[in-house]
Structure 1
């Protein structure tokens, strides 16, 4: 015992490296991205104890072992019937193929990966910023007739958050079924408000609760989705969380974001996605009714697929759809993202596209809400500029929109950032739209945003100080861990 007391630190250091080497062997066998592998190995071997903590919090890979199963939802008779109704006739397929040409590869990609079928009878409204979203949303919530389902990364009990939550309480009191899934790290709702919700009849569950959510930061495997389904007829998805940060009338800093409101068949896919999460968090008997999937009378024809990815999916569906869209572009690629920390596949695809005389434009924030993410993003820009990618830094405020439009016929609007976390770790959802009219709207929005940007010049960008470049290199090294 005396020996242990005298050599406690040596024993702890030795134990640390035994565990660290064991973790290194595990990482090597997982065959992860080499950059990510090297990052974890360096952290484990160079930083005793801290390295093990980082690996425990951020290094676990659950995609193949699955955090939860979708079988309980997908095997229910109502859902099976709904999925079977998505079969398309030959004329519709030919019409979509004619519009998309080579980009039609995306449709079977998502179907083969995740059984995400193409829906056609949809009406889609493009929403700019939280001010417009919440006007529409509050009206829809107040007009709900049967049920309301919310799945959100951030719901804060501030001005707009309290207004939404109070409307949900009144709706539940009126006899409607209201279900809410909140991410335990991103959201902040007081015990008092939770009691009010429960007393009103609102069912609320936290996604993968953590003990000290305020101090967990970027704890792995968060539910980053923003999904609302109202009566099975109206759906919302995009980048705008429920918080005053996203409402410029309530916010000191201008917040630029994008969302969409959907009416039509695609809402059914959002509904199924919500139920898979609800089945996991509620850990109880899930009753899915035909009333959750009403017949639609939508006359608009906007082809749309819902792409979901996370540790519960076999493949990185959203990343793969972005990759296919980029590699099949013929004229232009316009991307807006708040965090650009991509994998090598996406960087190479953008470089090749730009060098093939395809117009590639990227909008990122000049000043991010995370200094580490900002420096990590900046570390990737020189390679893109050298290949001919036009990079623009948004200067009006903070751009949080996650959008992409390719050749004006393929568009993506959703929750996924262009980074490691969204591609491989978080639960995300994007709407993929195959429609020229919608693509034109997104192009117009992109060009409007360009007026509030500064374009980077390669030669000037190279003149950054060595200190800045060193910080970028360190942030880039940490990028797989962000």
Structure 2
């Protein structure tokens, strides 16, 4: 007995399904191709959408490289409003001079992100979450005019509530306090329960904003396009940035056995005003409003350490941090020591690293033995053989999650920031880093890197991996443009 075949207008439902799949495939493929993104990424998304027509579309909606024309226009308006201020014009007059060897590198950064080289009186390396928390709480207590914080992850846990209590106390004393968090990275603080924790802070006059809040009426929840930045600015004179979020996960006093190993940076001096400039852009864009009647960009005496704040995000195609890191790698003549929790390099970044190793530069890569993403860990390991064949030494940090994001080149160049060495940080999220032109700071960062090596295992040239594991790594690498 044959099964009945449902028909619509004389055609079976299988025919209609086939035609629907074909038409949707053509439309979606054309749509992705017209976005003119990197060929590898474009081909990967075409495969996902065509091989998994329903699931693939859902994955693309959540994780795909959404176009940001509207967001770009909105951010441009806030940037234009800041550009009209007299104090910003004054800020642009305080240009510092880079070392002779870094003139073109500084020009590349300025042209790609619009921020000029500045200088600092102090550049302090912070090698743990507890040290960073102590520094932040100390600067909050010393604030006189305003405190601005922007974080990807802000948890209302022991660490987060300690900071919130300090902010509330200063707000009660008349200090202007503004807190900006990312909706995806800080869901608890932005929830109804989180508002309960924020109640005293808001009642004291503290201000709060959420970057790209999640809404039911959004067709796409903007899982990309996050602010992955970690910025603190106090009175426009002291700034902190790097990889450390406000969470117990990065506070070894709360979690002594498994707190993340991470790196942060404290700056004093003129470069802090560019961090302030970035915060003001993000604050206005996130709905915090334009700030008027306050001295946001105070004048400062020139410092002795040239520091270039580098900013990038999906509102621009310039990929400033991506370009800066690749250019710094190309400049290397002696050593390149790269630390990153997520190593999923672009083709150009991978080529830069292997080229440097092949021309005799000492290239060392430090990654976690196990990151908080099994797929990213597998994707990273798929690149090890190619790197090692070129002469790169690969080390895996064991024992706890390694979250530091640093680059050290030769004897005088260093970079510390929020950006991972992957496609998401280079192209899909808002990131910030500081390039420091200093032999002294370079030595400090090198000492920290060497200390971390004591907790690492060097990956052998012929790494043992079972056939299923190698297959998983190969598949993860295939998906790397989407990560």
TM-score normalised to structure 1 length:
0.91
Structure 2: distance between partners of 1:17 and 1:237: 49
Match of 1:374, SS? helix
Structure 2: distance between partners of 1:7 and 1:199: 64
Structure 1: distance between partners of 2:237 and 2:380: 38
2:341 aligned partner: 338
1:43 aligned partner: 48
2:83 aligned partner: 75
Seen in structure 2, the aligned counterparts of structure 1 residues 356 and 250 have a Cα distance that, compared at 3 Å, is same
Q: Is the 8 A contact 1:412 1:433 kept in 2?
A: yes
Seen in structure 2, the aligned counterparts of structure 1 residues 278 and 135 have a Cα distance that, compared at 3 Å, is same
1:207 CA displacement: 0.5
1:185 CA displacement: 0.5
Structure 1: distance between partners of 2:284 and 2:477: 37
Match of 1:262, SS? strand
Match of 1:225, SS? coil
1:354 aligned partner: 357
1:131 aligned partner: 130
Seen in structure 2, the aligned counterparts of structure 1 residues 196 and 10 have a Cα distance that, compared at 3 Å, is farther
Instruction: Tell me the alpha carbon deviations over residues 400-428 of structure 1, each in whole angstroms, 9 at most, x when there is no partner.
Output: 00000100211000000000000000000
2:181 aligned partner: 182
Structure 2: distance between partners of 1:154 and 1:170: 22
Instruction: Tell me the alpha carbon deviations over residues 381-408 of structure 1, each in whole angstroms, 9 at most, x when there is no partner.
Output: 1110111100000013111000001002
Q: Is the 8 A contact 1:76 1:288 kept in 2?
A: no
1:224 aligned partner: 228
Structure 1: distance between partners of 2:384 and 2:121: 37
1:248 aligned partner: 252
Q: Is the 8 A contact 1:63 1:314 kept in 2?
A: no
1:378 aligned partner: 381
Q: Does 1:235 align with 2:236?
A: no
1:3 CA displacement: 4.8
Instruction: Tell me the alpha carbon deviations over residues 167-212 of structure 1, each in whole angstroms, 9 at most, x when there is no partner.
Output: 1111111111111110000012112023333212111111001148
Seen in structure 2, the aligned counterparts of structure 1 residues 352 and 217 have a Cα distance that, compared at 3 Å, is farther
1:402 aligned partner: 405
Q: Is the 8 A contact 1:122 1:266 kept in 2?
A: no
Match of 1:20, SS? helix
Instruction: Tell me the alpha carbon deviations over residues 78-133 of structure 1, each in whole angstroms, 9 at most, x when there is no partner.
Output: 34323332234xxx45xx11xxx2x4321000112222111124311100010111
Instruction: Tell me the alpha carbon deviations over residues 45-98 of structure 1, each in whole angstroms, 9 at most, x when there is no partner.
Output: 10121111122223334367653214334322234323332234xxx45xx11x
Correspondent of 1:202 among 201, 206, 230: 206
1:368 aligned partner: 371
Q: Does 1:84 align with 2:88?
A: no
Gaps of 5+ in 1: none
Match of 1:256, SS? coil
Seen in structure 2, the aligned counterparts of structure 1 residues 10 and 397 have a Cα distance that, compared at 3 Å, is farther
Q: Is the 8 A contact 1:311 1:425 kept in 2?
A: yes
Structure 2: distance between partners of 1:53 and 1:235: 40
1:307 CA displacement: 0.4
Q: Does 1:470 align with 2:471?
A: yes
Q: Does 1:412 align with 2:415?
A: yes
Structure 2: distance between partners of 1:297 and 1:87: 12
2:60 aligned partner: 55
1:30 CA displacement: 2.8
Q: Is the 8 A contact 2:62 2:221 kept in 1?
A: no
TM-score normalised to structure 2 length:
0.91
Match of 1:80, SS? helix
Structure 2: distance between partners of 1:75 and 1:218: 27
Gaps of 5+ in 2: 1-5
Q: How many residues align?
A: 465
1:139-150 matches, cutoff 5 A: 139-150=138-149
1:255 CA displacement: 1.7
Q: Is the 8 A contact 1:73 1:276 kept in 2?
A: no
Structure 2: distance between partners of 1:79 and 1:426: 28
Instruction: Tell me the alpha carbon deviations over residues 265-294 of structure 1, each in whole angstroms, 9 at most, x when there is no partner.
Output: 01100000001111111164x134461122
Seen in structure 2, the aligned counterparts of structure 1 residues 172 and 8 have a Cα distance that, compared at 3 Å, is farther
Match of 2:119, SS? coil
Structure 1: distance between partners of 2:22 and 2:200: 50
Structure 1: distance between partners of 2:18 and 2:328: 49
Match of 1:400, SS? coil
Greater Cα offset, 182-191 or 259-268: 182-191
